Chain A
Amino acid sequence: MDFALVVALEVLSAVAGLLLISIGLAVIFGMMRVINLAHGEFLMLGGYATITATKAGINIWLSILVVAPLVVGLIGVIIERCVVRFLYGRMVDTMLATWGLSLLLIGLVTTVFGNTTAGISSPLGSMSIGQYKLSLYTLFIVAVAATVALALYLAFKRTRFGLVARGTMQNADMAAALGVSPPRVYAVTFGIGAALAGLAGGVLAPITGVVPTIGVAYVAKAFITVIGGGASVLAGTLSASTLFGTINQLATFLTTPVIGEVALLAAAIVLVRLLPQGITHRFFRGSL
């Protein structure tokens, strides 16, 4: 019984982790049709922001939940203004340019922070379920993921900005005719996506530590989650991270973490063959 509970919690945390690392990408891709290959580096920057802020004496919760998203969100807006905005509608070129950005950011951070692992100890202790011990921080990750999903839903469905943003993505000319400035909406949306990536990077930093190349570890998973999910930002990411997270974690339990990752990829490739447009093209259509 205890074992089942522990497995369930581990699966839940894997799903939450997957949701967190891919939601920023999903916002940028789902809303703006931009595939941001520098997403992994946004996560990495979030991690560095958290660790640098914590070491500078700022409260760790503040660094994770406020500093990381703020810093990376700003960087995102700058990148959108300087590079991405010239490439809207040219999907392949955006991919290539953001890949260049990803290399650039890795190089920049290596030059500044050095090619070593930096880390902070993970806050909160652990709790025990029967004979098993579980880190409380895992539950914190689940809570953050749930909050992010809920907040996004409310922001896009219930606020004026959400309405304007969705309208602009559907028909930019019409939105402009009604007095909205599409470039501003694009910049803010890109910034929100980047901020979410920064938040994820900050949340994960105490567990994994950070190196300049850590983005690579996340980016593959984030991409197949978003692609597996399909067009709907929230429903797609939620359903795909549930599916892939469960497969990954169960395979990890049965074998090794590496086989777990391979199982995740194999599942993703089969899914793409069966549902080329992603899960939400067939199920939950029209949801956010």
Chain B
Amino acid sequence: MSTFWNRAGLAAFGLAALAAVLVLPQLVEAFTLMELTVYVVMSILALSLGFIWGFGGILCFGQAAFFGLGAYTYAVAVMNLGDSTGAVLLAVLIPAVFAAVLGYFMFWGRISDVYLGVITLTVSLILFNLVNSTAGDAYRIGSAPLGGFNGIPSIPTLNVPGQPELVLDPLQMFQLCVVTLALVYYGLRWLLASRFGRVVVAIRENERRVELLGYDARKYKLGAFVVGGAVAGLAGCLFANWGAFVSPTIFGLAQSAQIIIWVIVGGVGTLIGPIVGCFLIQWLTSSLGAFGGLNANLVLGVVLVAFVLLVPRGLVPTGRALLARRRAPTVRVDRLPETKAA
């Protein structure tokens, strides 16, 4: 992609975010705005996987683990601290630390991509089981009961830093989420343009060559994984704020599957793709929910199988290739990150 289109894309994204913050609240009802808020929050989550999978070549099947950890950390911390500022920081920090520990075992063990997917999936399932079984008064951290399968209800939501009595209303919450999404998007773009990001992409392309050039691939992969964990934790924190409620299902298999589907549908190897996929699929599932009849799992399953078989590169790269074919006779094919067999 030429620099011009690159810059145009960046500017278009900024304009869209600006329009969403300023104009959209005038146009739609409060309920729609609430629904859009969760779309935006999930897009941040989709970005976290889009980054580590599409650019780091790390296929994490358990991104929900970091998402859930972020949500639970925020809930527990805000109930103990009273002020949301420290809780937000913790909700980013703890998933990042968890990603670092898990990543150490996986990258230093040099396990293959496929095993990595299975291990991360297993971790999120175990977290699900663990949190699910913490019902009852015996399980509490400070003044926050963990609630087991009932979850944690009535979590205090975000407030103006330092002033716990000034709580954000739904409109401000929406605007904050859009701004966060934009910041995460630009932050990841910046990271990819930096030296660190270039090495990460180079490792995706050819890990051995990068190692022979003197880089320690494990460290860079771990770095990318930790960034992904932190972003997912941030999304989890916002999600806990959105409904003022968390339950163990956010660690569940369905959640992890959704994240993968967003990225696959939108396109692996782009940052805008996961956001597009996330909005499309969420819109699809919520309209199916309103429609009734068809089971959401059934539809998601069909979508996933169909995309893997028929549109393996996802919507955004396929669309770009079509456009490029129209503009110029030669077709530029973006390759999917190669994965080695075990």
Query: How many Å from the CB of B230 to the closest CB on chain A?
Result: 21
B257 within 8 A of A: yes
Known: A258-B133, A262-B130. A97 touches B309 (CB 8 A): yes
Cα A37 to Cα B235 in complex, Å, equals: 26
Q: Is A224 positioned at the interface, with any CB of B under 8 Å from its CB?
A: yes
- The A-B contact count (CB < 8 A) is 131
Contacts of B119 in A (CB 8 A): 224, 227, 268-269, 272
| List of A residues within 8 angstroms of B122 by Cβ | 220, 223-224, 265, 268
Given the contacts A33-B341, A83-B305, A92 and B117 also touching, CB distance less than 8 Å = yes
Q: How far is the CA of A219 from the CA of B126 in the complex (A)?
A: 11
In the complex, whether A111 has a CB less than 8 A from a CB of chain B is yes
Q: Give every chain B residue within 8 A of A87 (Cβ-Cβ).
A: 308-309
Of B121, B260, B299, B306, the residue contacting A223 (CB under 8 A) is B121
Of B61, B108, B303, B305, which is in contact with the most chain A CB atoms at under 10 Å from its CB?
B305
Decide yes or no: A261 and B342 within 8 Å by CB, A35-B114, A227-B119 being known contacts: no
Q: How many residues of A contact B (CB 8 A)?
A: 42
Q: Report if A108 contacts B (CB, 8 A).
A: yes
Q: Mark B307-342, 1 if CB is under 8 A from A, else 0.
A: 011001000000000000000000000000001011
A117 at the interface (CB under 8 A from B): no
B190 CB–A CB distance under 8 Å: no
Closest to A93 in B: B308
Whether B308 and A111, one on each chain, are in contact in the complex, defined by CB atoms closer than 8 angstroms, is no
| B116: nearest chain-A partner, CB-CB | A272
Number of interface residues of B (CB under 8 A): 47
A207 to B133: give the CA distance in the assembly, Å: 20
By the criterion CB–CB under 8 Å, are B129 and A273 in contact? no
Q: Give the distance in Å from the alpha carbon of A101 to the alpha carbon of B297 in the complex.
A: 10
**A residues in contact with B115, CB < 8 Å:** 227, 272, 276
Q: Does A123 contact B (CB under 8 A)?
A: no
Check if A110 is an interface residue, CB within 8 A of chain B. yes
For the complex, is B125 an interface residue (Cβ under 8 Å from A)?
A: yes
Contact between chains at A227 and B105 (CB < 8 Å): no
Considering the chains assembled together, what is the distance between the CA atoms of A96 and B118 in angstroms?
11
Identify the A interface with B (CB < 8 A).
33, 35, 83, 86-87, 89, 91-93, 95-97, 99-108, 110-111, 216, 219-220, 223-224, 227, 256, 258, 261-262, 265, 268-270, 272-274, 276
Q: Chain B interface (Cβ within 8 Å of chain A)?
A: 59, 61, 102, 105-106, 108-111, 113-115, 117-119, 121-123, 125-126, 129-130, 133, 252-254, 257, 260, 264, 295-306, 308-309, 312, 339, 341-342
Closest 4 CB pairs of A and B: A107-B298, A104-B301, A100-B304, A103-B301
